Amino acid sequence: MTAVTAPERAGAPADGAAVPHYLNFIAGEWRAASSGATFENRNPADLSDLIGLFPDSGDEDVSAAVAGLAEAQAAWAAASPEIRADLLYRAAEIISGRTKEIAAELTREEGKTLAEATNETSRIAANFRFYAGEALRLKGETYPMPGGQMALSLRQPVGTVAVITPWNFPLSMAARKIAPALAAGNAVVFKPSEMSPLMGQRLVEVLLDAGLPPGLIALVHGKGPTVGKAITAADGIDALTFTGSFAVGAQIQAALGTDTRCQLEMGGKNATVVLADADLAKAAGIIKRGAFGLSGQACTGTSRVLVARPLHDALLAELVAAAEAVVTGPGDKAGVTMGPLATAAQLEKVARYLDIAREEGAEIVTGGIPDQGALPEGYWIRPTVIAGVKPGSLLLKDEIFAPVVALCPFDTLDEALEIADDTEYGLALSVVSDHLPSVLKIAEATQHGIVKVNAPTTGVALNAPFGGFKHSSNQSAKEQGGANVMDFYSRIKTVYLGA
Ligand code: NAD
């Protein structure tokens, strides 16, 4: 096996400048985009900090990447499950040993705090270990037939899996797709978000260092409308797993033919419902974590609070106090509890929804987009609480994907359910209450794929199924959680044994 050395990975600018030029990994080697074009990657907490230049790839690079995978995939599919499991265990060990450096780079690239970045990095080691176990648990079944005959199901890899991921969890979204894909015996072509390409790079380096056959993974950097689109049009992709926005997911679904299986996990408009018996401090703590953690940039982030009317004013006061206690700044600075937004587009989106709040006559009680002040130039936002939001408002329906929470009072449980489900999305809903019949009623009736009781909408277990309803998912297969995941990454052949 060819060792892939560090300088080849990062490349080196010919003029010896300090900015690293990163490369694609195609057909077992590190390469620039065939056009030679690059794009910049900058720190959202300090736009003067240029992290690196990445290949701005195109159709040709995607074709080469996919073509380069077939041979290694056949050998990997034939390899013993133990070999696949060992590889993933080794990858987990390597990640664990690099947690500090990768987490620091994650903060620099995406903006989340060091504590949040450390959490995410540790999580991918756990993911790799989990799917190492799944590699060993893959199985088929036998079906009794008359007269000594038998039918059996053979579970086989699907072939080449395309992985397209967003920037908000650039490690964990990718790991929870790549690890089961490899565990099941597939090859992977991976396109990380152009907003977080360095984390894609680090993940592939970890796998190669763990001993992954180089021809089994391709990393193609670039923009969604070029590389992403080229992947959806490429011959030789057997399955595509995507996490990102509904708008892009819908384009992908439309572009893929019937021969490519497709998993889409998309946006959310997650609500916490606070029932009349709720403890206010507990509810505020739950909402604070769900709404302001990760700068509100989690697909399961709390974006709406539906509160029993008698509790409204007191909960609003608690939330405002919680928001104002948040310390915003660069995520690597001691004492900072919330980093910036990750992209310029995110900041523009928040500004649009704050305008909508003003136009609708809602009250931005605290937060908004602050003056830069002493902070470096970056995508800064303060945790924002909006009150006086009426049912039907876009603030209660659209994904904002920021630390912005809209409050709306309700009078009955049915009304709370109606407002909660009055959105195109259906990802996560949490309920704060100890009244079991009400909690169960909501859990059973709501059109959200994840329901959490006395817990924030964010934070999910890697061994439990994950996925939304409606525009949050195409519901072809759940992510995480074991056997259901492996169904997406493998296919069943039925074999009949005659007498
Ligand atoms: P996005 O949809 O803009 O981009 C996601 C990925 O798709 C990127 O790699 C992008 O380059 C690529 N892409 C863009 N256009 C493409 C095209 N035409 N064809 C193929 N690929 C294309 O999403 P984002 O802004 O990176 O991430 C934020 C979104 O992701 C939010 O909506 C969030 O809710 C969602 N998200 C969902 C989950 C989940 O598990 N449900 C988890 C994290 C994030």
CATH code for position 86:
3.40.605.10
- Does 66 share its domain with 133? yes
Query: Which tokens hold the place of 271?
Result: 């609500």
- Does 256 share its domain with 404? no
Q: With a 6 A CB cut-off, is 425 part of the ligand 1 pocket? A: no
Q: With a 6 A CB cut-off, is 116 part of the ligand 1 pocket? A: no
- Does 367 share its domain with 421? yes
Q: With a 6 A CB cut-off, is 56 part of the ligand 1 pocket? A: no
Give dist(CA 455, CA 270) in Å, integer: 13
Whole-number Å distance, alpha carbon 61 to ligand 1 midpoint, is 21
Which residue, 64, 77, 75, 72, is CA-closest to 30?
Answer: 64
Query: What is the CB neighbour count within 10 angstroms for residue 231?
Result: 27
- Does 139 share its domain with 287? no
Whole-number Å distance, alpha carbon 192 to ligand 1 midpoint, is 10
In this structure, is residue 11 part of a structural domain?
A: no
Give dist(CA 84, CA 161) in Å, integer: 16
In this structure, is residue 15 part of a structural domain?
A: no
Whole-number Å distance, alpha carbon 496 to ligand 1 midpoint, is 42
Q: What is the DSSP string of 198-227?
A: HHHHHHHHHHHHTT--GGGEEE----IIII
- Does 306 share its domain with 412? yes
Query: What is the CB neighbour count within 10 angstroms for residue 295?
Result: 30
Identify the pLDDT of residue 364. Answer: 98
Identify the pLDDT of residue 372. Answer: 87
Q: With a 6 A CB cut-off, is 458 part of the ligand 1 pocket? A: no
Q: What angle do helix axes 114-137 and 172-183 make, rounded to 10 degrees?
A: 10
- Does 407 share its domain with 361? yes
Residue of 177, 299, 399, 400 with the most ligand 1 atoms within 8 Å of its CB, for mutation:
299
Identify the pLDDT of residue 2. Answer: 38
- Does 83 share its domain with 190? yes
Identify the pLDDT of residue 483. Answer: 79
pLDDT in tens, 174-189: 999 999 999 999 999 9
pLDDT in tens, 314-346: 999 999 999 999 999 999 999 999 999 999 999
Identify whether 265 is a catalytic site residue: yes
- Does 234 share its domain with 280? no
First to last CA, the chain: 45
Residue 227 sits at φ, ψ, to 5 deg, of -65, -45
Tell me if 35 sits within 8 A of 42, measured CB to CB.
no
- Does 229 share its domain with 292? no
- Given 120, 194, 265, 318, which residue is catalytic? 265
In this structure, is residue 18 part of a structural domain?
A: no
Q: Which secondary-structure segment (H or E) carries 453?
A: strand 450-453
Enclosing domain of residue 191: 24-266+474-497
- Does 341 share its domain with 433? yes
The atom number, within ligand 1, closest to the CA of 166 reads: 26
In this structure, is residue 304 part of a structural domain?
A: yes
Which domain CATH number covers 274?
Answer: 3.40.309.10
In this structure, is residue 14 part of a structural domain?
A: no
- Does 436 share its domain with 482? no
Q: How many domains does the chain have?
A: 2
Residue 70 sits at φ, ψ, to 5 deg, of -60, -45
With a cut of 70, list the residues of the chain below it in pLDDT: 1-17
Q: How far is CA 414 from CA 106, 225, 445, in A?
A: 42, 42, 10
- Does 226 share its domain with 306? no
Q: With a 6 A CB cut-off, is 248 part of the ligand 1 pocket? A: yes
